[in-house]
Structure 1
């Protein structure tokens, strides 16, 4: 009788038990798919798609370094002109005439006296020099011309994030690749293994772990005008709830962690209530992946419940192969006997004061 009363009251617990979780997956059908984890599932569903962090698009990798001699709108040019006559067009009494910091305008042209507006953007320094020689030769004898480029805001990249000196930097001969530009910006303020470098180029982006960028030369991509480089720390996390020693939101301590490591980060299962054969990962999966796991065909993300039995040695190996992903929920159900223990505690707590009252009345 007393057990029935306690059951009807509903004893507190951290969440659904294993039977209830699996039963809900059957009721919800296509909304939720329950997947017992074996070797194939661990290999297929566990690895996280880190392609966005392990390389760049082919369009980035295939791009050649820009020509450091190429002129862009916004650049400044220093033009030096030597004339072979004493009373030259540019009025220098001795030595050359020097035109300093001549701007390349928004239309890509420069204005040079006696040559007029000359197209500069999109041409190399040598091509512009030859154009100026041709224009000015019509008015003076055998001019000798030298052109030097000062990189301006027409060929720049923006560097942001965990970097010593954030700012806008020109792409010049000394900094035409990603690693060189990061060095030019003063290096990193945080060099942990969770540091990643993101490059945004128009509507296309790619990112890579800092360690991979430094270790693998093929990822030292050529930069293009307008690129935005962001150095940031990885902020992926999972949530651990249920019969674990420490329920919390846990940030990834390294690029990849598996289920066994995730349990270690929260202190393992609660020794009083955790049950190793009822450990679950709840995850939003894509339609394609769920169909491959045996789910029905539908559109949009649905939930998958991956069930682990860690009482079996193979279950521990599967947990080691199964990587946690950003946003996962690690849930450990209570052991079946836990509710019985709680019931006993509740009975003991009710029975004791009743006995005390009986003693009182008997006196």
Structure 2
């Protein structure tokens, strides 16, 4: 049996291995910082201070975290079915179209809390519909889900660029964007919500979609581990032959799972389009869908792990901006490199420490057995 398939204690698999991967990424990043003549400990200080050291920084960190939770959950749901949804970027992008249509249609007439359910449904439905096409191609035509989902990312870029230039762009404007939503199409910021209760908070783009992201984590947990569909998804992902023997409809599982995955990715548009920007912009997704892959891997496709991994990447995004400001020799490109190292160790090299840990815990188990 390979080291990757060996069972480890849950605290090792879900806790120690991600921490070791993160430590390795930070160690390599520290060496890079040292090579350019800067103090790695000072860099870590500004990274943490910029992301968690003051209330505005915390707000920005959680704002980025919201995006990563949605895209991480999207990858995780597909992963439980043994599928690698690499199309979260495009699904989130097209989800923005559903949000925009709801906001443009209703913001003149109703308050935000009436528009919001329609925007949420629009984001989920458009994201799910975009994921359903690759799902159908795999289920009915045998196409590989990785190839089709990544190709649909590029199709979504072209589709949205066309719509923003030809359909949504305002007359006389040179910007490829929709009109700015009125109050009826804007999610309240968390600092505004806190103000309703007399609590003073620093301004940040953090908005009510953060609450939706947390509820989505509860939904995914309940779906995967507390429903018949979730059991079917996990069975299909673990052993397709067993799923066939049990009489499960494999095509149905593929299509439904990918639609749920795409719907979760589409919900990311609530944070960006209705929450922060209040309009549909070109390229507003900016890589969040791809980072969601690393978030799901680091979080072991479990909602709690995804929340923790999302906070980490939120810290890297927000703290990285502060770090580049306080230590100019560490450029924005270097910050992206540090983020890339975390993604590398959390994703492509996630099994780097597993073989050694399997040997350690296997030998320990054997020693305990001999003593008994």
TM-score tier (shorter): under 0.3
Which structure would you say has the larger Rg?
1
User: TM-score, normalised on structure 2?
Assistant: 0.26
User: TM-score, normalised on structure 1?
Assistant: 0.27
More strand by share: 1
Q: Which has the higher contact order (CA 8 A, sep 6+)?
A: 2
More helix by share: 2
